Amino acid sequence: MSTRKECWRLIVTPPSPAAWNMACDEVLFQLVSSAPSPVIVRFYEWRPYAVSLGRSQWPENEIELDALRRDGYDCVRRITGGRAVFHAEELTYSVVCGRGHPLAAGGVHATYERTSEALARGLRLAGIRAELAHVTHHPSPGSARRSAPPCFGSVARSEIVVDGRKLVGSAQYRSTTAVLQHGSILTGAAHKRILEYLRVDEEVRQQYLRNLEIGTTCLRELGWRGTTDDLIHALADGFSGHFGIVWDADHSLAPHEMSLIDTKAHGRNCRETRNPGDMDGGNG
């Protein structure tokens, strides 16, 4: 007798502005929080490129906002913790599930590990020798700084690496009813441009650059020459194979979800004021 497989939602959205992307993750998190729902996995890109900050970071302390905006890029604060990320030449994933789902069991690190295992399986299907990091490594710039190091300046346990170099950076938020984890899968090297916008002195900037050069990698550097669709397909197969699930046939957002996202996205970009809130898990 065959066992019926659990059905999850796979959503693929077109490249979108930072405010819309973060509003989408938050709306899906709120919908899962408020009613029974299948696990949701979304893949997306950013247009224009943007900096996202962790939930507890102050934009005016971390980023040269005028320079960022002069170059035509956005700034947004995430619901998750962690540190600054420049979203460029990457595929971003998000996973949302209820706190009662097995994916959420065991706390922050257990969910990181399960999700990373699925992502790594998908990357291996794409020909990338991805594995999970076994230790946490936080290189120090060795001098005083005004800003926290960028997300990709360190590696946390169970993040995805290739030959010890970080390929995927993730962050997580947990409420009493739901869990959201999202992260950046680097396809190119443009993430290093975060250093153009961090509020740090030149000595620290150069040390951060050395850390990124040594400690990160990207799919292009690893010889991957596929398309975004190829990558999404491999990652989706990684999730379905790892968790033994099937995907819902409709990979789009519902009209009522779109309406909620559009409303929340309005005015969502960073302002130069603090937005205090509790942080529950952020490797990024």
Q: Would you please indicate which residues are annotated as catalytic (active-site) residues?
A: 151
| Alpha carbons 204 and 200: distance in angstroms, whole number | 6
Long-range contacts of 158-161 (CB under 8 A, 24+ apart): 158/109, 158/112, 158/113, 158/116, 158/132, 158/133, 158/283, 159/112, 159/116, 159/132, 159/133, 159/283, 160/116, 160/119, 160/120, 160/123, 160/130, 160/131, 160/132, 160/133, 161/130, 161/131, 161/132, 161/133
Q: Which of 31, 65, 4, 10 is nearest to 240 (CA)?
A: 10
